[in-house]
Amino acid sequence: MKQIDYWFLVTNESGKAVKKFMYVNRHAPHGTIYPLEGLEVALVGAAFDQDVSMAFIGDGVFQLTKGQDTADLGIKNCAPTYGALGDYEVTKLYVEQESLDERGLELNDLMNLTWEDEEEDWAEKPSIRVVSRAQLSDLLEQQDVILNF
Amino acid sequence: MLHTVNKSPFDSHSLQTCLGLAKAGSDILLIEDAVYAAMSGTAMTSLIESAMSSSTIYVLEPDLRARGIGSEKMISGINLVGYDGFVELAVTNDKVQSWL
Amino acid sequence: MKFSVMVNEGPYTHQAADTAYHFIRAVLDAGHEIFRVFFYHDGVHNGTRMTTPPQDDRHIVDRWSELAHDHDIDLVVCVAAAQRRGILDKDEAKRNGKDGHNIAPGFRISGLGQLIEAGIEADRLLVFGD
């Protein structure tokens, strides 16, 4: 078994080692419940003092597009709920560049999701971080727990 | 990292997405319908053979047998494991990503 | 080593519940521990005692109940996903004004926090789904 170097482990207030959780989103919104129920995991998980981030790959990038209106479908629109992630300290939403390119999307097509940095006088900062496939591969390797939605 | 893929590559992009993001030296386990990717002479064979140059590909044997895929139909060099081998792969890798 | 397992699909429609079960049996046979099995999305349907599968096929729900009984495995059905899909224990039925409950033996209904805890406490978390 791989030896773990404990010196770099961050602990939370309870003194337990903090784990890196990444929620990988690969489904388009509304066609299935996976994005909505995945979002619920992210919001609940935020209360556990772990290092939480989300990745949007493939059709998952469509979850973040602007202008979603489900009124005529009569189903709950979870798009506005992404706006709450910053308040729950889920501030790292990694979006794969290649997935955007394949779908003809740019950063401007995505919702403006932000968080307020307490350490910089509550300055508003963007939560969406567009990364390359290679960078995302590195990020995945750094995680302790990875869930796919 | 151990990556598991469960969907047929002819039906879903999961395997391609996994291979595009898996680092060299990964263990990749094909389970359920993904075992069809282990067949030789298909449109996916070169993708798997290319992945084999940098990662180790495993196939869950009970899923192969269920689907009637005999060793004569398989890409040479793919490793067969049972559920015990699946557990061993999960133990020896520091984490598992299940590509659904 | 401690394992947690997440099951995202219901019995029979997808192979997920079967693969998860066989994996868990192999974990136990190898002398490792299962910290928790968490059922999410349609996976909550693994927790209804109302299934009557054909007699010549495996009984997936009973198999889970036996696993819980024989090996003291913690089977947790997510309350939010269960409410959407109609899986209830007595308390949930009473709380939501329903005239029946259907949770299978060995399962308990609880919140998503149990999934996060399953990831924190276990050495490995595997997900079986579609």
> C115 to each of A41, A94, B98, C14, how far by Cα in Å?
8, 22, 16, 21
Contact state of A37 with C115 under an 8 Å Cβ cutoff:
no
Q: Do A26 and B17 touch (CB under 8 A)?
A: yes
> In the predicted model, is pLDDT for residue C112 greater than 60?
yes
Chains in contact with A, counting 3 or more C-beta pairs less than 8 Å apart as contact: B, C
Q: Whole-angstrom Cα distance, residue B90 to residue B97? A: 10
| Residues of chain B contacting residue C30, judged by C-beta atoms under 8 Å apart | 84, 87-88, 91
A50:C116 CB<8 A: yes
Q: What percent of chain A clears pLDDT 70, i.e. is strictly above it? A: 89
Q: Quickly state the pLDDT bin for A57 (edges 50, 70, 90).
A: very high
In chain A, whose CA is at the least distance from the CA of C9? Answer: A34
Domain locations in chain B as residue ranges: 2-99
CATH superfamily entry for domain B2-99: DsrEFH-like (3.40.1260.10)
Q: Which chains touch C (3 or more CB pairs under 8 A)?
A: A, B
Tell me the per-residue pLDDT of A4-53, one tens digit each, with 9 for 90 and over.
334 445 666 556 679 999 999 999 999 999 999 999 999 998 889 999 99
A18-64+83-148, superfamily in CATH? DsrEFH-like (3.40.1260.10)
Q: Where are the beta strands (DSSP E) in chain A?
A: 20-25, 51-56, 93-96, 114-117, 123-126, 128-131, 145-148
Phi/psi of residue C16, each to 5°?
A: -50, -45
Q: What are chain C's domains?
A: 2-128 (3.40.1260.10)
Q: Tell whether B17 is within 8 A of chain A (Cβ).
A: yes
Q: Does the beta carbon of A40 lie under 8 angstroms from any beta carbon of chain C?
A: yes
Question: B91 to chain A: which residues are within 8 Å by CB?
Answer: 1
Within an 8 Å CB–CB cutoff, is residue C110 touching chain A?
no
pLDDT value, residue A14? 58
Given C27, C61, C75, C78, the catalytic residue: C78
CA A61 to chain centroid: 10
Q: Provide the 8-state DSSP code for B74.
A: B
| Residue A6 confidence (pLDDT) | 42
Reply yes or no on whether the pLDDT at A75 is more than 90.
Answer: yes
B26-72 pLDDT, tens digit per residue, is 999 999 999 999 999 999 999 999 999 999 999 999 999 999 999 99
C129·B98 Cβ contact <8 A: yes
DSSP, collapsed to helix, strand or coil, labels residue B86 as: helix
CA dihedral A29, A33, A39, A45 (to 10 degrees): -160
- The ipTM assigned to this model is 0.97
Residue A142 in tokens: 């750094």
For the whole model, what pTM was predicted?
A: 0.95
Residue in chain A closest to B89 (alpha carbons) equals A1
The domain segmentation of chain A, as residue ranges, is 18-64+83-148
Comparing CB atoms, the residue among B83, B88, B100 nearest residue C22 is B83
State the best of A146, A147, A149 to mutate against chain B, taking most chain B CBs within 10 Å: A146
Choice among A48-52, B83-87, C8-12 with the minimum mean pLDDT: A48-52
Task: Specify whether the CB–CB gap between A35 and A59 falls below 8 A.
Answer: no
Work out whether strand B56-60 and strand B79-81 pair parallel, antiparallel, or are unpaired: parallel
Report chain A residues whose CB lies below 8 A from the CB of B26. Answer: none
Catalytic-residue membership of C38? no
pLDDT tens digits, one per residue of B13-39: 999 999 999 999 999 999 999 999 999
